[in-house]
Amino acid sequence: MQLNGIIGYLLSPCDARGEIDHPLLAQHIEYLVQAGVHGLAPLGSVGCLPYLNDDERVAVLKTTVAASAGRVPVLAGVSSMSTAQTLRHARLAEAAGVNAIQVLPSTYWKLTEAETFAYYQQVSEAVSLPIMVYNNPFVTGLDMSVALLQRLTGLPNIRLIKEASPEPGKIARLCQACGPEVKVFAGVSSMALQGLRDGAAGWATAAPNVCAPAILDFYRRLRTGDLEGAAAQFERQTPLLDYLLAHGLPRTISAAMALLGRDPGHLRAPLAPLEAGRRQILHTLLKTLEMTP
């Protein structure tokens, strides 16, 4: 199955004891599939990947694959602090039946370009799955250059890039440098409209957990040539999208889902619920968009 369009990132909801709530996760998956997302991404940052142990990661992937039931592709986050752990999780994800993996460089020490290339080369050699290189300088401290990303796509199964730097025009340069065989996805909301206009294959985002109809309407308008309508829809959602990102996606996505009458489950410690004042601001944003029940 090919990745295109709106890729929805999943929470990893917990129960009151702090254990992963798999029935609730399956409900979240069904909601997003029924809403019309084009792919699902478990174990991203909104899925609290760093806070899950190895067994929990595998269990989340198995639930996602089972609940999605082949209706949309599954893109699994496998990043870890060490190369060895990333390789282990890449192999486990492949065994779980996902369609592709997303790999972020190690986030403790800032890697050099040579270290980054060697890291991805080892992952590429470890699995046969398509690999999405995730450039997120906010997390890693490393903003991978167009030249480095293009070089990485020379590895056998790296044909996907998620670009989350705020640099205007970078997605256009990536698309031009890498060619049509490589799919570039917008990875930060502020760049989604321009990135899709500039040739991105889609937008990888947690926003559909909160505003799936609007995000999918925006994408549909853009792909059918209604650029003015797409821009208007995007501009309308921008204050909400900016707020969701500014205060920590797991917190804000969970709070927004609850305000919309959907059960987000509990957050995995050390994360705590969104503070009351910020929750009220979020409620106002949702009310302005006429989304609250």
At 80-118, the pLDDT tens digits run 999 999 999 999 999 999 999 999 998 788 899 999 999
Q: How many domains does the chain have?
A: 1
Q: Are 102 and 134 in contact (CB under 8 A)?
A: yes
pTM, two decimal places: 0.96
Range of the domain at 185: 5-224
- What pLDDT, in 10s, does the model give residues 133-188? 999 998 888 899 999 999 999 999 999 999 999 888 999 999 999 999 999 999 99
With respect to residue 255, please indicate whether it lies within any of the assigned structural domains. Answer: no
183 is catalytic: no
With respect to residue 169, please indicate whether it lies within any of the assigned structural domains. Answer: yes
Query: What's the CA angle centered on 133, arms 207 and 220, to 5 degrees?
Result: 40
With respect to residue 19, please indicate whether it lies within any of the assigned structural domains. Answer: yes
With respect to residue 268, please indicate whether it lies within any of the assigned structural domains. Answer: no
- HSE-CB at 171 with a 13 A cutoff on CA atoms is 29
Q: Which of 9, 119, 134, 219 is catalytic?
A: 134
Query: In three state form, how does the secondary structure of 57-72 look?
Result: HHHHHHHHHHHHCCCC
Q: What is the mean pLDDT of the chain?
A: 97
Whichever domain contains 102, its CATH number is 3.20.20.70
DSSP character at residue 20: B
Name the nearest CA neighbour of 185 among 31, 41, 1, 29: 41
- Residue 213, exposed/middle/buried by CB under 10 A (0-12, 13-18, 19+)? exposed
With respect to residue 234, please indicate whether it lies within any of the assigned structural domains. Answer: no
Q: What is the pLDDT of residue 132?
A: 99
| Rounded distance between C-alpha atoms, residue 27 and residue 31, angstroms | 6
Q: What is the pLDDT of residue 293?
A: 80
Percent of the chain exceeding pLDDT 90 equals 94
- What pLDDT, in 10s, does the model give residues 176-227? 999 999 999 999 999 999 999 999 999 999 999 999 999 999 999 999 999 9
Helix (H) or strand (E) run with residue 9 in it:
strand 5-9
With respect to residue 267, please indicate whether it lies within any of the assigned structural domains. Answer: no
Q: What is the pLDDT of residue 138?
A: 87
With respect to residue 273, please indicate whether it lies within any of the assigned structural domains. Answer: no
Q: Which of 9, 120, 162, 183 is catalytic?
A: 162
Token code pair at residue 96: 């779980």
- What pLDDT, in 10s, does the model give residues 27-77? 999 999 999 999 999 999 999 999 999 999 999 999 999 999 999 999 999
110 is catalytic: no
| Rounded distance between C-alpha atoms, residue 5 and residue 27, angstroms | 22
Name the nearest CA neighbour of 161 among 100, 114, 81: 100
Percent of the chain exceeding pLDDT 70 equals 100
With respect to residue 283, please indicate whether it lies within any of the assigned structural domains. Answer: no
